[in-house]
Amino acid sequence: MARLKESYVKTVVPKLMADLKITNPMRVPRLRKVVVNMGFGIVDKDALKARVDELTAITGQRPVVTRARKSISNFKLRAGMNIGAKVTLRGDRMYEFLDRLFSAALPRIRDFRGLPRNAFDGRGNYTMGLKEQTIFPEIDANTVTTVQGMDVTIVTRAQDDNEARELLRLLGLPFAAR
């Protein structure tokens, strides 16, 4: 079992039940999925392969290449061109990724003071943007040709933002001090 999942079952669930005054353990907020999205625009095939390989190394799962839906002549973009990649993580892979993100990747960000508390969408989902992929230990900074950012969305089963904030805080997401 993943270390973060074990922590969730043994410590987070009882703490959430006590803090949120929940009697049914099935009502306790939990993680549904984590979506990692990397939009890189119009790139050649070699750069596309490099980005996909980096995202595979980071998440441990092969990403889906996303394509443009519409043609936009000002951006020299045609419908069907490859413009990004995304991965949806569930189960043990999700917990492993979040564990590496919280404990290894986020502390490596220069001048890191915590993540914003207000990046929730009103339904208990949290989205954060990362400016470079080199913060992950799986990526060798010497082999990276261009720095690429990504979005990480954590989807929870919480009823509102406060429940989700408490869940993520107990799991170890480093929020900024008020």
pLDDT at 145: 76
**Could you tell me which residues are beta bridge partners of residue 89?**
34
Residue 64: both structure tokens together: 């889906």
Strand partners, 10: none
The residue type of 68 is A
Reduced DSSP (H G I as helix, E B as strand, rest coil) percent helix, strand, coil of the chain, to 5: 40, 20, 40
Q: What are the chain's domains? A: 3-171 (3.30.1440.10)
Q: How far apart are CA 162 and CA 46, in angstroms?
A: 43
Cβ–Cβ < 8 Å for 100, 80: no
Quote the pTM value: 0.87
Residue by residue, pLDDT tens for the chain (178 residues) are 688 888 989 999 999 999 888 898 889 999 999 999 988 877 778 888 888 888 898 898 999 988 777 777 777 767 877 778 999 999 999 999 999 888 888 888 888 888 888 888 888 899 988 888 788 878 877 787 778 888 999 999 998 888 999 999 999 888 887 7
Q: Are 128 and 101 in contact (CB under 8 A)?
A: no
**Token digits of residue 35:** 């979506």
CA torsion through residues 151, 154, 159, 160, sign: negative
Query: Distance from first CA to last CA of the chain, Å, rounded?
Result: 34
> What is the model's pLDDT at position 77?
66
Tell me how crowded residue 111 is: count the other CB atoms within 10 A of its CB.
4
